[in-house]
């Protein structure tokens, strides 16, 4: 199997985004968006998934962060999908439960070529830093739709919003890495195709 990597770009009147992604990486990253907390979470995603990622993103943050955060989710979903090719030979399923101090979260992924998301997360604050925490649901929804995966995100408990999001992103990275692991099974589906 060759290197599983891709480059994907998206430019609209609202945002301009380019992501380089390699599944079988070393956790190396260069994340450049104008949203500091999003950068931090994407750095965690790269390190904990052992993915190599370069992201350059700009957008109309003078309006708010919504367009930029959602569009980064869109492009990340597309670049991961492109890196996986036809999805053949992958484990398909990934699941991880991760604590972060007071918070415990589980993320489960099925690289099924069917988009669906369940998001059971409640926050005690509206923002972390300057970022609205509700935007993470938009990010993950955009990711799931564009990777065409089932993505289930459950936060069991937590008081600190930063810790809740961090536990989710770490679990997200580990579960995606597991699901993308290459196996000796050509296609894990009775249909013969994902």
The answer to whether residue 191 is domain-embedded is no
d(CA 45, CA 128): 18
Whether residue 131 lies inside any domain: the answer is yes
Residue 166 belongs to some domain of the structure: yes
- Find out whether 80 and 129 touch, Cβ atoms under 8 Å: no
User: What is the Cα–Cα distance from 178 to 193, expressed in whole angstroms?
Assistant: 19
Q: How far is CA 153 from the centre of its chain?
A: 11
Whether residue 187 is contained in a domain is answered as no
**CATH number of the domain that residue 167 is part of:** 3.30.230.40
Whether residue 149 has pLDDT greater than 70: yes
- 21-52 confidence digits (pLDDT tens): 999 999 999 999 999 999 999 999 999 999 99
Q: Domain count of the chain?
A: 1
Q: Which residues pair with 16 in a beta bridge?
A: 11, 58
Query: For residue 182, which of 78, 74, 94 has the smallest C-alpha distance?
Result: 94
In this prediction, residues 142-153 reach a mean pLDDT of 98
Q: If you average pLDDT over every residue of the chain, what do you get? A: 95
Contact 94, 179 (CB under 8 A): yes
In a domain, 172, yes or no: yes
Domain residues for the domain of 9 are: 5-179
User: Does residue 188 lie within any of the structural domains?
Assistant: no
Q: Answer whether 32's CB lies under 8 Å from 156's CB.
A: no
In angstroms, rounded to a whole number, what is the distance separating the alpha carbons of residues 160 and 152?
21
Token pair 């700009």 in the structure block, residue: 58
Structure tokens at 155: 């936060």
Which tens digit of pLDDT belongs to each residue from 48-58?
999 999 999 99
The structure's pTM equals 0.95
DSSP classification of residue 123: -
């Amino acid at each position: 199997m060759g290197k599983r990597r891709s480059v994907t770009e998206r430019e609209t009147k609202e945002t301009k985004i380019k992501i380089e992604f390699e599944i079988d990486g070393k956790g190396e990253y260069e994340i450049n968006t104008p949203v500091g907390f999003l950068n931090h979470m994407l750095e965690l995603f790269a390190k904990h998934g052992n993915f190599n990622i370069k992201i350059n993103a700009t957008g109309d943050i003078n309006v708010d962060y919504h367009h930029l955060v959602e569009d980064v989710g869109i492009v990340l979903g597309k670049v991961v999908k492109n890196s996986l090719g036809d999805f053949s030979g992958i484990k398909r399923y990934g699941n991880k439960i991760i604590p972060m101090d007071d918070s415990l979260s589980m993320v489960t992924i099925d690289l099924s070529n069917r988009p669906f998301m369940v998001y059971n997360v409640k926050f005690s604050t509206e923002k972390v830093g300057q970022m609205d925490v509700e935007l993470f649901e938009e990010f993950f929804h955009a990711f799931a739709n564009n990777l065409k995966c089932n993505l289930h995100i459950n936060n069991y408990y937590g008081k600190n919003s930063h810790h809740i999001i961090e536990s989710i992103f770490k679990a997200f990275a580990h579960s995606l890495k597991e699901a993308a692991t290459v196996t000796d099974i050509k296609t894990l589906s009775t249909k013969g195709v994902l």
